[in-house]
Structure formats: structure tokens, C-alpha cells
Amino acid sequence: MRIEHRVTRWLVAIAACLALLPLQSWGQSSPSPAGDDSDTIVVGGDHYHPPYEFLDEDGQPAGYNVELTHAIAEVMGIDVRIELGTWGDMRERLENGEIDALQGMSYSEERDKPFDFAPSHAIVHQSIFARRGDPVVGVEGLRGKEVIVQRGDIMHDYLIEHDIGAKVITVDTHADALRALASGQHDYAMVANLPALYLSRELGLTNIVPIAKPFSLRYGYAVKKGDSNLLAQFSEGLAILKNTGRHQEIYDKWLGPLESSDGIPWKKIGQVGAAVSGLLLLILGGIVVWNRMLKKEVASRTEELRLHQKQLIQADKMTSLGILVSGVAHEINNPSSLLLLNLPVLRDAYADAEPILEEHYRTYGDFTLGGLAYSRMREEIPFMIDEMLEGTQRIKRIVGDLKDFARQGNTDLGETLNLNEVVTTAIRLVDNSIRKATCRFETHYATDLPPLKGNAQRIEQVVINLVLNACQALDSMDQGIFLTTRYDHARNCVVLEVRDQGRGIDPESLNLLTDPFFTTRRECGGTGLGLSVSAGIVREHHGSLEFDSWPGEGTIVTLALPASSQPILDEASQHPVSS
């Protein structure tokens, strides 16, 4: 190791001495443009491109490129002055010979024509950024879109050279591009990945994400075409830093934390692994004891769950219904009442005006009424008023159902109920969810249903849960949901069958459906309380809830409730309905 260290030191010393020798034999160099001091090399860069290069809080150049340039100057024995500005301006200054080099430029064949490049000192990944929830696209998907790029950046060059068909929006910095995208302007941004992630975090832009990394480009020093002397100095200095390990230290300092922020610290894992192995046997032994204690805890919790059943019923009800239903219902009722009051008046007013309009039509011919020909409107207006009146009455009925359902119910199970009426009310409450889930929803009501004893609100809650679960099981609008009521003479029970053509339930989960907090939809926000609460309500009514399912074919849920001997008449029960 000592010999190796000495050899490395000798190589560095020799390289430094060679750097001091005249370089005219390497090629013709253009004179330095940097002011009066011809020995000072002016190196340009972007003033806001962290972590590569940027101006710090004191206005001084900082970043990976800046520290690398100073290290090259040190080992090569040259004087450098770093000037940072907007990238487009600095690139023009290099083209015009106003500065000697750029310390960080991505390579392309087109850029190789006006510039010469040193060996790369980094690989820069270019990303397409979008707002969260926007479509994920590749480069071809940018056609016809508004794409933000930094003026003079490699992605600006690429979009122009390859005629992608995107509308190019240029800004001065990566930060400007990201701010514009985050504020809702334009469609996408094409920027360097590491600076964009760094700036997103620093600026608090949490609503934008990278959706594609279409390019990985070499990134290094660039000089004006033909300036081989200066290029050789930067290339040799970079080689010395790489051989001595100093380049890697600078790279790890500035870029390592960002590149590995989502990675795994394997070295530490190796150290921790040894300690974990020692504890593993102790943990395994403790699991056995813990399992026994858990069984006892489950038994004690069972009684506690029963005590909380009533609270869970109301909590689940409010979850299904939404927050502040009563307040919303009140707000809807006000304009609905106004419509119910005024629409009949408008209908009568039109009936009175119709003879006058007809006389005018016969005398002077057709005319415009409400932007349309009267010959058409004369037939449409009465239907429009009737439809509005019918729709308003439907709104009022639904709001009334919501208010009744949201109201804290009593524990009286002695109401005389008709299952058909309960199901009809529940369907009205979830009509919107049904329409979004399927275009095949059918109900078949039996005509000979006897009454049952119970609590209407709670039975409605069970039906709502069953219908919503059926909606959530469907994968397409073509799959159907079918509700059927019937009377089981053998058991003297009133039965509701809810059948869906959804994805079905695997046999392992079928027996767990009514367990508290068990759900197959945890990732979609399921709480696992709906069927557990429903089963509790059914038990209160001395009924049963049975499930039959076949994966890929659908599920049938059968709700059976004991019939009452008291007769009941109901219009809904006398007419089968299919919708």
C-alpha cells in the first residue's frame, strides 16, 4: 500500500510538471479572450443549475462543476476565473469567443460541430416531467403538446433538430420550467433529472413528477472548435483527478446523495445484518409466546367489539352517506321547493299564452322563440316543463330519503316493514353509484311478500352496503347487477338476493367477509366495516346473510329476514319492477 501511494504521488507530480511545459506542439491555440490577463482562463456555466453549478447565498459560484474546475486548475497549475450566467447567454459567449470554456455541456453530434469536448465527467439523465395525474408519455407523445425547455439546453436542441412536432416554450432556467409546469402552464417539461429533482424539493413543487427518462447523455467540458491546447489541459487534469480518486470524492459529495437517496445502503446492511442474525433466534422464541398471548387478547376484544357495535353502525352509516348530509339536503331543498312552486305557474302561463302564439303563427308564419323556431318549440315546451317538474320532484324524494337515513335512528325493531319499499328507498340513495358502475341493473319485486318486523333505517343500511359492494366488484359497464325479492314459505322468511357478474371472491376470503376490518379493497380505501356492520344488523333482526361466489364469475348475497304474521299492503309489492 505504501509503494502504491508513492507511485500515485509520483504520477501526480510528473503530470503537474508536464502541464507547465509549452503546449504549442499539441495544436494551434486561439488567444485567450478574458480581458487583459491572458494567463487567466475564463470558464463559464449556468447560474442556476444545482447541484452541478449555481450561485450560492453569497453570490459565489458553487456546485459539482465549480469544485471540479478548481481542482483541475490546482493540479494543472493554471489560473481560472468562473463566470456563471443564464445558460443561453453563456453558450453564445463561448461561440463568440468571449469566454474560454463551459464546465458542463451535454454532448451531441450537432454540438460537436461548433465545439470540442473533453472526456465526460458525468452522465446526465434527461427526463420528461408532468403534473401528477397527467398522462404518461414518451418523446413521441409530445407531438402537438406545449413543452417547456431551458433556452439553449440540449433538450431545446433536440426538439428543434428532430422536429418532434411539439410547441417549444423556452425559459432561462430549469427552475423557471418547473415553476411554470407546477402552476398549470403548458403540458410537459424536458429537463435534466437530478437538477429537476433537486429544485422540485427546494422549491416545494410537490405536484410534478418525472414520467420518462428518454436520454442519458455524456456531460463534460466544452471549448470552441479547434482550441486543442485548452481542451488538453482540462482532459489531462480530469484524468489526474480520476486516477487519484479526487474526482470520485467531489462526485460523491455533490451528486452521490441525490443519486442514492432512493437506494439501499448495502454496506450498512451488511453490518446490521450480523446484529440482526444474533437477535433472530430470540425474536422467533418470543413469537411463540406472543401468539399465545394474542389468542387471549382476541378473546377479550370480542366482547369489546360487541359493545361498540352500535357505534360502528352509525359510523358506517355516515361513511356511506358522506359528511354533513343534513346540511347539504337543506341547501338542496330550498331551490327544489322554489322550482316546485314556480314550474306549475309557468306551465299554466304557457297554456294561457299558447292561443295567442298560435294565432300569431297562423297570421305571420313561423318565428323564433328562445332561439328556435316556434313550429318546433310549440311541441317541446310542455314536455320540457313536465320533465323539469318530474325531475324536481325526484330530487325532493331523494333528499327526503337522505335526511331520513342520516337522522340518528332509535333502537326500536318493532316497525312493520315491507322489504320492497325498503329496497326501493335504498336504491334511490345509491342510484348515482349504480349508474356509474353498470348499464345493466335490474330489480324483480315479488308480489306476495308478507311484512317483517324491524328497523327500516338499519335494513336500508344493509341493502346499501350490499349494492355498493356489488358495484365495486364490476370491471366493466356491461356486467350486471340483479336484485330479487321473494318469500321462502319453507322458512317463513322474506328474502333479498343481490347477484353481480363481477370478479368474484376467492374461497379463502369468502369465510372472512363479515370479520371486522377484513377487506379485499384496502388499497382503494376500504375499511372492512361495511359487511361486518351489516352482519350485526341482520343478527339483531334474527336473520341470516349468506355468500356464494365463484372467482371470475360473480357473487350472490342472500339476505333472509323472518316474516311477520301481520298483513301489509303496498303498491310497490304489487308490481314487479325492472330498471
pLDDT tens-digit readout, 13-62: 444 444 444 433 333 333 444 444 568 999 999 999 999 999 998 999 99
CA distance 169 to 1: 56
Q: Where are the alpha helices (DSSP H) in 187-227?
A: 193-203
Type of residue found at 401: D
- What pLDDT is attached to residue 264? 42
The model's confidence at residue 544, banded by pLDDT at 50, 70 and 90, is very high
| Mean pLDDT, residues 190-216 taken together | 90
Residue 374 has pLDDT above 50, yes or no: yes
Provide the pairing of β-strand 101-106 with 79-85.
Answer: unpaired
Most confident of 276-290, 332-346, 558-572: 332-346
Q: At what angle do helices 374-406 and 309-321 cross, to 10 degrees?
A: 160
Residues 199-218 as b or e (16 or more Cβ within 10 Å = b): bbeeeebeebbbbbeebebe
Q: Which residue has the cell 433537486?
A: 198
Write the DSSP string, 502-533. S----HHHHTTTTSTT--S-GGGT--S-HHHH
Of 195-204, 280-289, 468-477, least confident by mean pLDDT is: 280-289
> What are the grid coordinates assigned to 16, written together?
503537474
Residue 449 has pLDDT above 70, yes or no: yes
Compare 52 and 287 and report the one with higher pLDDT.
52
- Tally Cβ neighbours within 10 Å of residue 431: 15
Please report, rounded to a whole number, the percentage of residues in the chain having pLDDT higher than 90: 45
- What pLDDT is attached to residue 322? 53
Distances, alpha carbon 302 to alpha carbons 274, 308, 462, 526, 560, in Å: 41, 10, 22, 22, 25
H/E segment holding residue 128: strand 122-131
Type of residue found at 157: D
**Could you tell me the maximum CA-CA distance found in the chain, to the nearest angstrom?**
117
- What pLDDT is attached to residue 149? 96
Of 6-10, 365-369, 554-558, least confident by mean pLDDT is: 6-10
- Domain residue extents for the chain: 2-259, 301-408, 411-579
Q: Which residue has the cell 299492503?
A: 569
pLDDT tens-digit readout, 301-335: 777 676 566 556 655 655 555 545 666 766 787 78
CA distance 166 to 6: 57
- What pLDDT is attached to residue 231? 92
Compare 254 and 4 and report the one with higher pLDDT.
254
CA distance 79 to 84: 17
**Average of per-residue pLDDT values in the chain:** 81
- What pLDDT is attached to residue 178? 95
The model's confidence at residue 573, banded by pLDDT at 50, 70 and 90, is very low
Residue 547 has pLDDT above 50, yes or no: yes
**Residue spans of beta strands (DSSP E) within 393-466:** 415-417, 440-444, 452-454
Domain 2-259 sits in CATH 2.60.40.60? no
Compare 397 and 307 and report the one with higher pLDDT.
397
The pTM of this model reads 0.42
In words, the CATH class of domain 411-579 is alpha beta
pLDDT tens-digit readout, 514-534: 766 556 665 554 445 667 778
Compare 417 and 320 and report the one with higher pLDDT.
417
The model's confidence at residue 277, banded by pLDDT at 50, 70 and 90, is low
DSSP character at residue 563: B
Residue 437 has pLDDT above 60, yes or no: yes
- What pLDDT is attached to residue 2? 41
